[in-house]
Structure 1
Amino acid sequence: MAIEQGIWKIGDKPEKLRPSGLADESLLEEQVMHDIAILDADWLLIGRQVRTDFDKFIDLLALDGDGNVIIIELKRNKTPREVVAQAIDYASWVVDLDASQIGEIYRAFAERYGRAHDSLEAAFEHRFGVPLDSTDIQLNNAHQLVVVATKLDASTERIINYLNDHADIAINALFFAAFEDAGNHYLSRAWMIDPEDSQKRVISRTSKQPWNGEFYVSFDRDMPWEDARRLGFIAGGGALWYSRTLDLLSEGDRVWVNIPGTGYVGVGHVTGERCRADQYEFDTADGPRTLDQMELSETYSDLDANADDEHAEYVVPVAWEKTVDRAHAVSESGLFGNQNTVCKPKTPKWDHTVKRLKHAWHIS
């Protein structure tokens, strides 16, 4: 399966940009160091030229939001088959790394390259908005391999497909091409296998299960739930850790809301993006009003127009399908709970929780 990439400039007629080639793949590695989103926006880079116990060096190491390790190998001057074999060899070392060893890899990486966070725990929480020791995170519970190249031969592509389909190895290839236009240089990328398919393979090889598409929301017990029911919103803030995960939500997403220590109190669909709570205007009988312009039935002490964006309170509008007051919250043994404002659980307990709530509230 040959993958050909091209970029066209749109004008009176499409004009194909001239391929310029990647003269030095170390240049690509430098670009990844500046922004790993060039490879995947959902990864955290944790190591570069990581020395293994058998005195070989892994080009790049990363983590995804579930704590799985990604081994990234650039083809450089190796043959396609060599780089695939080398990646598998590295995986045999990575599979046995424990949390302290991975933490040390990141610490050395952060110190050498001047990263913003000096510990893996701080970097992970900043990147993904959840603590590394969360009950839903299992560090190095699985891993995947990514070969970065400008092209691969047909035999190597067959090997990659075989390893995915029959050998229980999650491996993918990422192709880059360089282009030039009027002195400006561009990179184009293409995956050999849909990265979502690769992620599903990783999940299937862990104790987790594929995410069921339903979001969990933790609604702080000190926030005004009765007003949230009436006006239609969920909220979080006071620190980035509490507000950042609200960005996981998009219009149309379904959320199941739990008040920790009380129980599940509502389900609905997101109708808009995250907004500062002191700025979002709700439709009322008196016209558009912000929360601090309305008389609320409960105290909402976290509203502060003078707070900076990092410490501000944020709301996400929701159209409710079903809500109940605190006295009728669904709380029973075996239901999922989490300290994050929003998360995408991938445990059997979450699937059980959603099914139980649907039955309790007569929701299809």
Structure 2
Amino acid sequence: MGVEMGLWRADGDMLTRITATVIGLEAQLESYIESDPSMLGEMLLIVGRQVTTAHGGYIDLLAIDETAAVHVIELKRDKTPRDVTAQTLDYGSWVATLGRAEIIGIFASYRPGVALEEAFEEQFGGTLPDMINANQVFTIVAASVDTATERIVRFLNEDFGIPINVVFFRHFHDNGAAYLARTWLVEHDAQSVATPSTTGKTKTREPWNGQDWYVSFGESPAGRHWADGMKYGFVSGGGDKWFSRTLKNLTAGSRVFVCIPKTGYVGVGTVLDEAKRFDESTVLHNGSATALNALPLEGTYRHEGDEDDDNAEWAVPVEWTHAIPREQGFWKPGMFANQNIAAKLRNQFTIDQVSEAFGLDD
């Protein structure tokens, strides 16, 4: 049975039904959704309009949500029941093959001069995930559909868990005012999203270059001071195993991009040696190896170690390629940040932005 949407005007004890019209609606819906994709029921970032597929088709709208799942949005227009569903799935089969670079490229064509990382942070208030397009969601936009389309969509969604749905919009006019009403064929909150496959992870995750690391230099008034790290060449972390364990992943020759949380990137340099307890660490100072705890440091770095050294402060010596005071910390929306002290830096946008700001050759 077709989905019916009604609207009534209440005048005292009297109800007057307002008749819906579809005249011109489907031609306008694409622009409506592009200007405010939240009308589809969740926050989305449009990344492309009339996107050309490898098979000669044109996807009406392509978007990503806060998990970086890709949404294929197709308007029914004058398509037949079989065509609208088959075409949406056909487009989805092509979208599923796209990697991170392809999605970024589509967005670059759609909004020249704006990086996807920046747009994502502006829209969702967070960093673009490493994994893009791990899953896909299919939405058919229509003023109405026939029972055959309803039957097919329900079958795919409810029996096979394919996240495909139909969102209906109806246009109402009453006394000079225009209204747009929305409803879903399948209860929207019940839609399932497929778990990303192993092969999907490989193609959608930004590759690591094997060299670059993100390092968080968490300052504290009575503990760690970036002025020390910048002057004497080191990064450090400690107070708990969770903080020091990732620091121990750094090896000699690795390149580190150092960020002070909520301040910005302050240094890029090369790791000289593996992590050691702070009281056993040495740095290259005035051309010779010098014990860290023998230097006139501003910070205290006094985390006492237990028998496993889990709570101790750990340090890694670094030769700075470029380092700046915390007051000059560099940050742009969309750049990478992480709760770990050290993490593989896969975010090429961050590498490019910091390298340009610091005048690095590569």
Secondary structure of the structure 1 residue equivalent to 2:3: coil
Pairing 1:127–2:123 present: yes
Matching residue of 2:63:
62
**Which one of the candidate residues 131, 140, 143 is aligned to 2:133?**
140
Secondary structure of the structure 1 residue equivalent to 2:45: strand
**Which one of the candidate residues 162, 167, 172 is aligned to 1:174?**
167
Which residues in structure 2 correspond to 1:246-285 (within 5 Å)?
Answer: none
Matching residue of 2:148:
155
Shift of 1:162: 1.6
Matching residue of 1:230:
none
Q: Given that residues 147 and 172 in structure 1 are in contact (C-alpha distance below 8 angstroms), is that contact kept between their aligned partners in structure 2? A: yes
CA distance in 1, matches of 2:238, 2:150: 52
Shift of 1:167: 3.8
Secondary structure of the structure 2 residue equivalent to 1:6: coil
- Amino acid aligned to 2:125: G
| Structure-2 change in CA distance of 1:104 and 1:82 (3 Å) | same
Secondary structure of the structure 2 residue equivalent to 1:54: coil
Q: Deviations over 1:286-310 (max 9, x none)?
A: xxxxxxxxxxxxxxx99xxxxxxxx
Q: Deviations over 1:164-203 (max 9, x none)?
A: 23445221110111000112211101011122221xx215
Q: Given that residues 62 and 73 in structure 2 are in contact (C-alpha distance below 8 angstroms), is that contact kept between their aligned partners in structure 1? A: yes
Matching residue of 2:34:
33
Secondary structure of the structure 1 residue equivalent to 2:68: coil
User: Which stretch shifts more, 34-43 or 171-180?
Assistant: 34-43
Matching residue of 1:202:
193
Pairing 1:47–2:48 present: yes
- Amino acid aligned to 1:53: A
Shift of 1:205: 5.2
CA distance in 2, matches of 1:147, 1:339: 36
| Structure-2 change in CA distance of 1:340 and 1:28 (3 Å) | farther
Matching residue of 2:11:
11
- Amino acid aligned to 1:149: A
Shift of 1:23: 2.5
**Which one of the candidate residues 184, 197, 200 is aligned to 1:191?**
184
Secondary structure of the structure 1 residue equivalent to 2:193: helix
Q: Deviations over 1:75-102 (max 9, x none)?
A: 0011122110000110111001011110
Matching residue of 1:320:
none
- Amino acid aligned to 1:32: I
Q: Deviations over 1:29-75 (max 9, x none)?
A: 11112211122332111111000011110001011110100101100
Equivalent residue pairs, number: 222
Secondary structure of the structure 1 residue equivalent to 2:111: helix
Q: Given that residues 162 and 194 in structure 2 are in contact (C-alpha distance below 8 angstroms), is that contact kept between their aligned partners in structure 1? A: no
Which residues in structure 2 correspond to 1:308-319 (within 5 Å)?
Answer: none
Q: Given that residues 164 and 171 in structure 1 are in contact (C-alpha distance below 8 angstroms), is that contact kept between their aligned partners in structure 2? A: yes
CA distance in 2, matches of 1:261, 1:36: 44
- Amino acid aligned to 2:117: E
CA distance in 2, matches of 1:93, 1:28: 24
Pairing 1:109–2:117 present: no
Q: Given that residues 22 and 177 in structure 1 are in contact (C-alpha distance below 8 angstroms), is that contact kept between their aligned partners in structure 2? A: no
Q: Deviations over 1:218-275 (max 9, x none)?
A: xx96689xxxxxxxxxxxxxxxxxxxxxxxxxxxxxxxxxxx96569xxxxxxxxxxx
CA distance in 1, matches of 2:87, 2:148: 16
CA distance in 2, matches of 1:61, 1:30: 13
* Unmatched segments (≥5 aa) in structure 2: 199-216, 222-236, 242-261, 264-302, 304-309, 312-335, 340-362
Secondary structure of the structure 2 residue equivalent to 1:202: coil
Matching residue of 1:298:
none
Shift of 1:340: 7.0
CA distance in 2, matches of 1:205, 1:195: 20
| Structure-2 change in CA distance of 1:15 and 1:206 (3 Å) | farther
